[in-house]
Every structure is written in structure tokens, then in C-alpha cells.
Amino acid sequence: MSSIPELIRKKRDGEKLSEDEIKTFIQAVTNNDIQECQIGAMLMAIWQKNMVGTEIAALTREMMTSGEVMLWPEEWKGLVVDKHSTGGVGDKISLVLAPALAACGFKVPMISGRGLAHTGGTLDKLESIPGYNIQQSTAQIHTILSTVGCCIVGQTATLVPADRVLYALRDATSTVDSLPLIAGSIISKKGAESLTALVLDVKFGGAALCKDLASAKELAQLLVSTGNALGMRTGAVLSRMNAPIGHCVGNSLEVIESLESLKGNGPEDLMDLVSSLGGILMVMTGLVSDQSEGKKRISEAVTGGAALSKFQAMMEAQGVAKETARALCSAHSDYYSVLRRAKHQRELKTQKDGYIQDVDGLLLAEVLHKLGTGRVKAGEPINHSVGAELLVSLGQKVIKGAPWLRLHYDERAPTTEQLDALQHSLTVGPEQITHHSLVAEVLLP
């Protein structure tokens, strides 16, 4: 068996590692049988010299089996599905999609993350609901899936321990942006959920990790091929990420918009992406034969109220008091009887007549991040009440002085520069330009 320095040398010199060699490395990482400097050196060698498809599949498989791999009852065969997004602004898709899928009969063990850089995290959003407990054991996840059909939880302690080690060191060694390491990290965690099918929402644009369609497509193709190599039917959507999705950005504001969406009042861009992602899962699991039929089924689960009932049941199963869950899901909810509202609201006004041509989601999110929606260091507290509501839609005609953004803030008041930046995130112009739907392309296995 090769020694760790020999494995590092091989990758450093651009050689291909065998399955056994990758296994040796990942087992050493998992068992703490390797020096941190050696892990860092291997990460940098992988970053520099890349890996071929078979190496990436082996890396992902070894990472997946470094901890517990979930086991589901025989009768759920073919029905366990999930979605992963590369992160965006106003991306509340999971909060609507998970219960909609459960309403269609799927089992959805959705393991989500926290906000990363300027992007929001599903777990942070859900934690703005009093009592919502994102920490559930595998046994609890099992029970929630049996009774409700979906859960949205944090990573359990036993799932993919190798990723926990590698991820922390990637940050410290500037190796986060390595395609094999990204694929290994994302797909190993989804593989450990023992999914029948996985759909990826790979975003591109100014407010996304991938700035253009070509780089998003490269990542998506790698994720799709790695997922399929592990035996999960994996597909992807390449979706535009410039303006915020929907109208709300910020944790509790996004929960409100998700609940409104589940009550049938969702914005068109959000609902189209939700039904597209769900429709692809329906096709991949063989429940429908074409995507438009799948989209229709997901839409009906939302408009008919079944998805809202699932969301209510999921909240209760994850620790929210019955009365709280009921209050949030009632037809004419006073959301602020349950969710905390920021102390201050301030409306920004348009500075000229014209059409709304663009809202720069990155600029908007960066200001909100500074006002408290996100964290600079892991573990820092965030302010769930801070955020912004877009009061206009792309393509809408506005007159000078019309309110276009309602900012919610607390102790950290926006500075003049921050207000300027927010104003700069809006483009009003003389022409009504065409806005495409968020879905640019679909990749199926």
C-alpha cells in the first residue's frame, strides 16, 4: 500500500490515483490517521492537477461511505428524492419544493446548509420560525419521513465525516473552488441520503457562484455524471441568478414569502423554478413520462393546499408549537404575531420614470449581509428579521418617486454609502426589456 507522501507525490505530478489509493487517503482523513499538512498538500495537488471522472467517482464514493449511509424501508423504493442548489439571493425554493414533493407522495430527507458568503441558507431561514429545530438524528428523520414525508434538517453528526474535515481545510488552503472537491463534497452527502433521484439547481449570473452559463454547465455536467456514477438518477437545471428570486430577501421575510407561495400567491419566477425542479424529479423517478406533466402535478400540489398542509406538519414534527404552525398556515395570517419584525422599515424611491430593467441581487445581498442577514465567521449569530422587500417587478413601468424597496433593519442602520449601493442595485431605463424565465437549460441523466 502506498504511503501518504507517495499519494501526494503522485497527484502533485499529475498522475491518476487508483480507487485503492483514494480509499487509503479518505480512510486516513476519516480516522484522523494523517497530518493536517498532508491533507492540505493533497487538496492543493487536486486543485492544481484536477481529477478524471473515475477518480472523482471514487473520491465521492469513499467520502459517502466514510460515515453512516441512510437505509430506507423497502416500500419507499423509488420515492426518496432531494434537491441541491448552488446558492442564490432570495432562493427559498426548498421551503416550497420539499412539501410539494411530499404532497405528491415522495419522501424528501432534505439536508440543507447555512448561508455562504452573500447567499442565504435554508437552515437560517427556517430558524426564524420559533421552535423550529434543524438538528434531527437519523432516527428522527426516519420518523418524520414516515409521518409527514419531508423534513428540512442540518447535516447529522454521523453523515460524511470526511467532508467535515476536508471542507474546513479547503477554506483554510484556498481550495474551495476545485471542481472534483466540490463534486465530492456535494454528491457524497446526497449519496449518503440513499436517494433514488436528485435534482441540482446550478445557478449562474452576477449573484451566483458561477458567473456565466458555460462555467455553470461544466459544474452541472460533473455533478450529474458523479451522481449517476453513484447510482442516483441525477439531473440538473441551469438557472439564471441575477435579480433576487421572488420579492423577499432575508430570513423571516423569505419564510413569509414561502408561506404565501404555499397559499397559492407565489411569484411567477419562484413557482416556475419550483415546478421545473419538481417536474424533473417526477420524470426521473418514472412517475410521469414528460416534464410538463410533472410541472403540472407540482403546481397542483401547491394550488390545492396539500403542500401547505405538509409544511405545517413538517414544522410541528421539527419542534414548532401546534398553535404557531397553525397561525403561520392560516388563510389570513398575521405573520408578525409569530415572527419577529425588525424595528425599522424604510422605503427607497425610484429616481426616474421608466421600466424596471434590472435589480442587482449581489449588491442588494451584500448590503443586507452587513445589516445582519448573514455571518462573517461560522457560528456567528444573525438577525433573522433584517431583509428587504422588492415592491416592484422586472419589466414594470414606474414613475419617479415610486417606492421600490422596503428595507427592514434593527440596530445596524444603513449608512449613506449602503443606501447609495442599494439605490445603485436598481436599473430603471426607457425600454421595457424582455426577461427570460429563470430556467435556461435542463440536463437529464
- 176 or 288, CB closer to ligand IUR? 176
Determine whether 163 is an active site residue. yes
Nearest distance from C-beta of residue 12 to ligand IUR, angstroms: 22
Q: Pick the piece of the chain touching ligand IUR (CB under 6 A) from 142-150, 180-188, 211-219, 328-336.
A: 180-188
Q: What is the DSSP string of 60-121?
A: HHHHHTTS------GGGTTTBEEEEE---SS--HHHHHHHHHHHTT-BEEEE----BTTB--
Question: Considering only 178-186, 199-207, 354-362, 412-420, which stretch makes contact with ligand IUR by CB under 6 A?
Answer: 178-186
Which residue number, 86 or 324, has a Cβ lying nearer to ligand IUR? 86
Contact yes or no for 46/181 (Cβ under 8 A): yes
| Residue 208 or 262 with smaller CB distance to ligand IUR | 208
Residues 82, 91, 163, 360: which is the catalytic one?
A: 163
Asked if 254 and 129 touch (Cβ cutoff 8 Å), the reply is no
User: Which is the catalytic residue, given 61, 83, 92, 170?
Assistant: 170
User: Considering the complex, what minimum distance in angstroms separates the CB of residue 407 from ligand IUR?
Assistant: 29
Instruction: State yes or no: is 178 an active-site residue.
Output: no
Q: Binding of ligand IUR at residue 122 (CB under 6 A)?
A: no
Give which of 284, 82, 300 is closest to 201, Cα–Cα.
Answer: 82
Minimal distance in Å, beta carbon 314 to ligand IUR? Answer: 22
Active-site residue among 83, 189, 263, 384?
189
Burial tier of 306 (Cβ tally within 10 Å: 0-12, 13-18, 19+): middle
Cα three-residue angle 360-276-369, rounded to 5 degrees: 30
Contact indicator for 371, 412 with CB cutoff of 8 Å: yes
185 touching ligand IUR, by CB under 6 A:
yes
The C-alpha atoms of residue 126 and residue 272 are separated, in whole angstroms, by 22
Q: CA-based angle 215:211:122, to the nearest 5? A: 100
Mark whether 185 is an active-site residue.
yes
Tell me how far, at minimum, the Cβ of 226 lies from ligand IUR, in Å.
12
Per-position b or e across 368-383, b if 16+ CB within 10 A of its CB: bbbbbbbbeeeeeebb
Q: Does 192 bind ligand IUR (CB under 6 A)?
A: no
Total binding residues for ligand IUR by CB under 6 A? 4
Q: How far is the CB of 167 from ligand IUR (least distance, A)?
A: 6
Name the minimum Å distance from CB 219 to ligand IUR: 9
Of 61, 84, 118, 310, which residue is the catalytic one? 84
Residue in this structure with the C-alpha cell 426607457, named with its chain if needed = 430
What torsion, rounded to 10 degrees, do the Cα atoms 249, 98, 184, 1 define? 140
259 sits near ligand IUR (criterion: CB under 6 A): no
Q: Closest distance between ligand IUR and the C-beta of residue 9, in Å?
A: 25
- Asked if 198 touches ligand IUR (CB under 6 A), the answer is no
- Tell me which of 112, 128, 185, 188 is the catalytic residue: 185
Contacts 24+ apart (CB under 8 A), 290-299: 291/442, 297/104, 298/97, 298/100, 298/101, 298/104, 298/274, 299/271, 299/275
Q: Which stretch binds ligand IUR (CB under 6 A): 179-187, 322-330, 360-368, 404-412?
A: 179-187
Could you tell me which residues are beta bridge partners of residue 409? Answer: 344
CA separation for the pair 87, 121 (Å, rounded): 8
Options 182, 241, 359, 392; binder of ligand IUR; rule CB under 6 A: 182
DSSP-derived 3-state class of residue 383? coil
Q: Which is nearer to ligand IUR, 119 or 318 (CB)?
A: 119
Judged by CB under 6 A, does residue 176 bind ligand IUR? yes
User: Which of 47, 404 has the CB closer to ligand IUR?
Assistant: 47
What is the Cα–Cα distance from 155 to 159, expressed in whole angstroms? Answer: 7
Cβ-based nearer residue to ligand IUR, 182 or 313: 182
* Residue closer to ligand IUR (CB basis): 176 or 402: 176
Of 426, 421, 348, 423, nearest to 393 by C-alpha is: 426
Residue 346 to residue 356: CA distance in whole angstroms: 20
Output 190 or 233, the one with its CB closest to ligand IUR.
Answer: 190
> Which residues have a Cβ under 8 Å from the Cβ of 140 and sit 6 or more positions away?
none
The residue whose Cβ lies closest to ligand IUR is: 185
For residue 187, state whether it binds ligand IUR (rule: CB under 6 A): no
233 part of the active site: no
Does residue 186 bind ligand IUR (CB under 6 A)?
Answer: yes
Question: Is 420 among the residues known to form the active site?
Answer: no
Is the torsion defined by CA of 377, 378, 382, 387 positive or negative?
A: positive
List of residues contacting ligand IUR (CB under 6 A): 176, 182, 185-186
As annotated, the active-site residues are 84, 163, 170, 185, 189
